[in-house]
Amino acid sequence: RRVQHETIENRGLESKSVGTEPYRHVRIFRSA
């Protein structure tokens, strides 16, 4: 359940800085 929580937080951060660190979102999803 920690992965889902992190993904939601990352989604919000990505929405604000789209294109800045898009690898983080993919990395967390791959870690799932």
| pLDDT tens digit at each of 32 positions of the chain | 566 666 666 666 555 555 555 566 666 666 55
Within 13 Å of residue 22, how many CA atoms lie on the same side as its CB?
2
Note the pLDDT of residue 14: 55
Within 13 Å of residue 17, how many CA atoms lie on the same side as its CB?
9
Note the pLDDT of residue 2: 62
